[in-house]
Amino acid sequence: MKKCTILLFGLLCFTSTIHSQIMFERDINFNTWLPFHSSFNSFGGAAWGDLNNDGYSDIIVGPNAVFFNNGDGTFTRDLNTTIGAGFFVFTSNVAGVTMADIDNDDDLDVFINCSRPFAAALNKDVMYINDGNGVFTADTLGPWNPVQLSWGASFGDYNNDGYVDLVAAHPAGFIGTPRPSNLFINQDGSTANFENDTTYGFTRTLAPYTVPYWSDYDLDGDQDLFIASGPGGTPGLDSVYVNQLSETQTATLKHNSVLPFATDLQDGQCYNFIDYDNDGDKDLFLTNWSGAQNNFYVQENGQYTNTAMPFTYNNSSLTNAWGDVNNDGYIDVIISNHNSGLTELWLNDGSTFTLAGDEFCNQFGNSGVFLADINNDGGLDFYATGANRAAAIYINQNTSGNHFIGMTMKGNPSNRAAIGTQIRVVATINGNVVNQLREVSAQNAFQGHNDLRQHLGLGDATMADSVIVYWPSGNMEFYTNVLADSFYTITEGEGMTYSSTDEILPHQLAKRITLFPNPTDDSMTIELNEQLEIAEMNIYDQQGKLVKNIPWEASSLTREVLMTDVPVGTYFLHVKTADNKMFAKKFVKM
C-alpha cells in the first residue's frame, strides 16, 4: 500500500488515479464544532436519522453531541438537548448510538452506550425518548435503569409484533464490572414495560461481546442476531443466533454453530449482510481486529463460502460501511483500519473491488464510518469518528451523472421506523436488468449506523422498473416505473408518497379494483368498482419480473384474464393510471 500525502485541508489522499472522479471533500466547518470530540472518543459511535421530520438527515455523535441539519449544507449543534447531559467524556470513551421509534409515535428515539474501557465507568447506558421535533427526555423507567454498561446496542423487532426490541452487548473485562449482555423485549412501546429476557447464552454468560447486529440474513422474514465478540487480539468464536419465528411461529433465537462464519475463529467487530453482486441473496462481510483477518462470505444457493477479496487482510479493522457512493448500481464499501490510520474506499463493479485511490489520511485512525446523503443532492456523504483529526464529515463530490433513488420507510403495523424492512429495486442499467437489495438497519457500522433512509444508485436508468417492499409484518407492496433522482416516503398500507400535493393516495385507488377469485386458478376476473382511466396494466412476480401484459379498453369495467400460462406463485397486478398514479394488488395463482 503506497504512502499517502496530505492534501490541502486534509482532503482525501490519492494513491492512484483510478476512479479519481470519486472524491470526498472534508468539511472543515463541521470538524471545528467538535473540539472535545477531536481530542477524545477514539471509540465514539454515531448514527444518522431525521430527528425532527424535516426531510434532512441529522446526526448524533456519542455520547452527547446532537447536530441538526439545516438543509443548506450546514449543521447546528443542539446545546440544550438532554442527550448525554452530565456525561463526562473520558479519553478513549466508548459511546455507541442506535435509533428507532420505540413507541411508534412517528419520531426517532435514541439509545446511547457510554462507558470507559479498562476502568469503573462513571457513565451509563440511557434511553432518550423523542418528545417531538428532536426534543428528548431521558427515560428512568426501563430495565436499563439503574446503571447498565454496554459497548454497543441495536434495535430490531425480533418477534415481529410491531415494537422494536433492543440488544445491548457488554464486553466483560473491558468496561466496568463484568456482567452478561441484555435482550430487552418491547411489550407495548412503554419503557416501563420492556422485559429483560435472560434465557439466552449471551444474557447469562460473560464474554467480550462488543457490538450486536440484527439482520434477516436468510430472507425468511425474521431478524437474526449476530454479536461481534472481539476479544481484542485473541481469535475466538462470535455469537450467531438464527431466529426460529418463521419456522415455528414463535420468536426464539437458536444458537448456530454450523454456519462457516460461526465456526471460523474471528476477532469480530462489524457484521454486514449485503448483496454485493446483485444476485438476490445476502453475502457477508465481517471486519476483524488484529486476532483474525477480515472475512468475506459469498452466498450461493444458501451456502456461504469464505472468499478472498482485496480487503480480506489483517489490519485492525473496525467498520465496514456499505453504500453506492458513485450511484452505478453496485454497493461499495468503506473500511476503517484503526491502527494503520487509513480508511479505504473500495469501489464495486459487481464482480471485483478496486481501491479508489481514496485513503483517508488520519494520524490516529477512524473507528466508525456512517453514510447519509446530508445535502439531498443524491450522493452519499459520510461522517467518520476517531481521535484527534480523524473525526470529520466528508462530502461526496461525485460528478458521474448517475441517477439515484431515496426512500424513507414507515411501518404500520410493522414498527414505525421500519427496522428490518427489505427493499428490492429493479432497474435497467446499461441495458442490463439489475436487482438491488437493501435492509433498514439500526446497527450496520461500528457502534452506530448509516441513515435509516435508503439510498440506491441507478446508473443511467431514469426510473426504477419496480420497487418491492417486504415489511416485517409479512405485508408486501409493489410499485413500478418509479422516477429516479427523487426522494419518496413509503408508508405501509398507504402507498408511496410522490409529493405532498397528491390528492388520491395509491391505497385509495387500489380499492377501486377487485380481483376474484383470489387465490385464482385458470382464470381471474378484474373488475373496476368505479370508472378509472387506465394507461397500463401488468402482472409482475415477487422479484419484479414482468409476467403478463393485460390490455384494457377505456370503456370497460370488467375483464376475464386467462391464467393458464402463469406459474403457481404470488404475483402483483400493477396498474398505472392516465395521470401517472400507480398502485398494485397482490394475488395468488394456485
* Short-list 303, 299, 329, CA closest to 435: 329
**Count of residues in the chain:** 590
Q: Give CA angle at 73 (72, 79), nearest 5°.
A: 95
Cell numbers found for residue 323: 453504500
Cell numbers found for residue 478: 409493489
* Gap between the Cα atoms of 285 and 181, Å rounded: 24
pLDDT at 547 over 80: yes
pLDDT at residue 397, as a whole number: 86
pLDDT at residue 428, as a whole number: 96
> Over the stretch 69-115, which tens digit does the pLDDT of each residue have?
988 778 888 988 999 888 877 666 788 999 999 999 999 999 999 88
At 368, which helix (H) or strand (E)? Answer: strand 366-372
- What does DSSP assign to residue 13? B
pLDDT at residue 121, as a whole number: 59
pLDDT at residue 251, as a whole number: 97
Residue with cell 490516529: 364
Contact call for residues 499 and 512 (beta carbons, < 8 A):
no
Cell numbers found for residue 328: 452505478
Higher per-residue confidence, 543 vs 338:
338
Q: What is the mean pLDDT of residues 529-546?
A: 84
pLDDT at residue 504, as a whole number: 53
> What is the full DSSP assignment across 288-338?
E-TTS--EEEEEETTEEEE---TT-S-S-EEEEEEE-TT-SSS-EEEEEET
Most confident of 11-25, 114-128, 436-450, 524-538: 436-450
* Gap between the Cα atoms of 471 and 317, Å rounded: 33
* Gap between the Cα atoms of 48 and 567, Å rounded: 43
pLDDT at 1 over 60: no
pLDDT at 572 over 80: yes
Query: At a CB cut-off of 8 Å and minimum separation 6, what does 53 contact?
Result: 106, 107, 133
pLDDT at residue 374, as a whole number: 93
Q: What is the mean pLDDT of residues 551-572?
A: 91
pLDDT at residue 542, as a whole number: 75
pLDDT at 448 over 60: yes
* Gap between the Cα atoms of 368 and 45, Å rounded: 6
Query: Which residues face 583 on adjacent strands?
Result: 575
Contact call for residues 291 and 232 (beta carbons, < 8 A):
yes
Residue with cell 393458464: 564
* Gap between the Cα atoms of 262 and 82, Å rounded: 40
pLDDT at 303 over 70: yes
Read off φ and ψ for residue 262, nearest 5 degrees: -90, -20
Alpha-carbon 420 to chain mean position = 8
Alpha helices in 158-292 (DSSP H): 201-204, 245-248, 260-263
Cβ burial of 12 (10 Å; 0-12, 13-18, 19+) is buried
Q: What is the mean pLDDT of residues 387-401?
A: 81
Cell numbers found for residue 346: 473500495
Query: At a CB cut-off of 8 Å and minimum separation 6, what does 176 contact?
Result: 115, 116, 119, 120, 121, 149
Read off φ and ψ for residue 302, nearest 5 degrees: 85, -5
* Gap between the Cα atoms of 452 and 418, Å rounded: 9
* HSE-up (13 A, CA, CB side) for residue 71: 6
Cell numbers found for residue 588: 395468488
Q: What is the mean pLDDT of residues 142-154?
A: 93
* Gap between the Cα atoms of 470 and 418, Å rounded: 10
> Over the stretch 206-237, which tens digit does the pLDDT of each residue have?
999 999 999 999 999 999 999 998 767 789 99
* Average confidence score pLDDT of the chain: 87
pLDDT at residue 30, as a whole number: 62
* Gap between the Cα atoms of 384 and 467, Å rounded: 31
> Over the stretch 337-382, which tens digit does the pLDDT of each residue have?
887 768 899 999 988 999 986 556 455 577 899 999 999 999 999 9
* Gap between the Cα atoms of 493 and 411, Å rounded: 8
Cell numbers found for residue 49: 436519522
* Short-list 57, 61, 133, CA closest to 487: 57
For CA atoms 151, 155, 156, 158, the dihedral sign is positive
Query: At a CB cut-off of 8 Å and minimum separation 6, what does 350 contact?
Result: 276, 277, 278, 330
Query: At a CB cut-off of 8 Å and minimum separation 6, what does 79 contact?
Result: none
Of 197-206, 301-310, 521-530, the poorest mean pLDDT is in 521-530
Higher per-residue confidence, 326 vs 533:
326
Which contacts (CB < 8 Å, 24+ apart) does range 241-246 have? 241/200, 241/202, 242/218, 243/158, 245/158, 245/159, 245/160, 245/221, 246/220, 246/221, 246/222
At 111, which helix (H) or strand (E)? Answer: strand 109-115
**CA-based max dimension of the chain:** 77
